[in-house]
Amino acid sequence: MTFKNIALQIAYDGTNFSGYQIQKNKRSVQEEVEKAIKKVTNENIRTFCAGRTDAGVHAKCQVINFLTNTKIKASKFYFHLQKFLPDDIKAISSREVSLYFHSRFSAKNKEYHYVINTQKNMHPIYRNYMENVTYNLNFELLNEGLNILKGKHDFKAFMLNEKDVIINTERILKDCKFERKKNKIILEFVAESFLHNQVRIMSGSLISLSRGQISLDEFKSYLTNPNKKAGPTLKAGGLYLERINY
């Protein structure tokens, strides 16, 4: 029996999911995708993803891979899969990759965007897709804060507290910047990997800095004093897995 490894690119609206990973009695992206793959291949498939997004987090580009014995051409697999996926998941493309390819461990880096609305009276249809910040912001301070975060640091202060979990909290933030588009601010972060809730906590801390709620020195101390806690944690709906670079 000859297996092939298929890399599948998908996008999804995370609003009604408990997250990417399968969880008991909760709706997940992984479960929906694996059910759809089974309908196409008649195989019980285990998928691997580039990054496990949390409940409410969206993905414009999530990459998964799986081994299959299907005779369907890898480049056409996404087309056959789409009709079995729910409306909040879209299969974008598929291709055959080396058997050594792993969507997570083969990735060079991941890029997340956090989207903030700055217009007063944001329409309620956007509430699950942007954070709402209508205070006056100092964009010079925002840029300074981003430059401070860039590079290799201990980001423990920017991680969700998890009991009995011991991990290396040092990460390399390869790039971080912001872009203004009409009534939106887009914070962009690139790294090989991120801690749990790191992007949402960094985004909240940057807004606090830009509003003048904390000083630049206090912001810097989040990276030098691992016992401090940064924040606040902005809501999940403003966060997007933008792309995976291989």
Active site residues: 54
Q: What is the phi-psi region of residue 104: left when phi exceeds 0, alpha when psi lies from -120 to 50, beta otherwise?
A: alpha
The separation between the first and the last C-alpha atoms of the chain, rounded to the nearest angstrom, is: 29
Q: What is the phi-psi region of residue 236: left when phi exceeds 0, alpha when psi lies from -120 to 50, beta otherwise?
A: alpha
Residue identified by tokens 């975060």 is 149
Residue identified by tokens 């999530």 is 62
Closest residue by Cα to residue 239 from 58, 17, 14, 50: 58
Q: Where are the beta strands (DSSP E) in the chain?
A: 4-12, 48-49, 58-68, 89-97, 109-117, 131-132, 151-154, 170-181, 184-191, 239-245
Residue 16 three-state SS: helix
Residue type, 96: E
Residue 97 β-bridge partners:
5
Question: Do residues 28 and 89 lie in contact, with contact meaning Cβ atoms separated by under 8 Å?
Answer: no
Residue type, 58: H
The number of residues making up the chain comes to 246
Residue 170 β-bridge partners:
154
